Amino acid sequence: MGKLKTFLADVRKELRRVTWPDRKLVTKATISVIIFSLVIGVYLWVLDLAFTKIISFILGLRGA
């Protein structure tokens, strides 16, 4: 039990030393991640459509 108390006290000390980001930085980072995710999602969607058309065309030529 003593080790647990020591561990938790050390964790508390370390958390006091952490420099937490301000709200403005967190907001900018969140917006950046959302935009990046949307761009990658659209890119993958377009690739999926293109490959689907190509595969459908190839299979259509084979009579399948």
Predicted confidence at residue 9, as pLDDT, reads 95
> Hey, where are the domains in the chain?
21-64
Q: In 10 A of CB 32, how many CB atoms?
A: 10
Distance CA 37, CA 23 (A): 21
User: What pTM was computed for the model?
Assistant: 0.65
Question: For 25-43, how does the pLDDT look when each residue is reduced to its tens digit (9 = 90+)?
Answer: 999 999 999 999 999 999 9
Predicted confidence at residue 27, as pLDDT, reads 98
pLDDT higher than 80, residue 19: yes
Q: H/E/C letters for each residue in 21-42?
A: CCHHHHHHHHHHHHHHHHHHHH
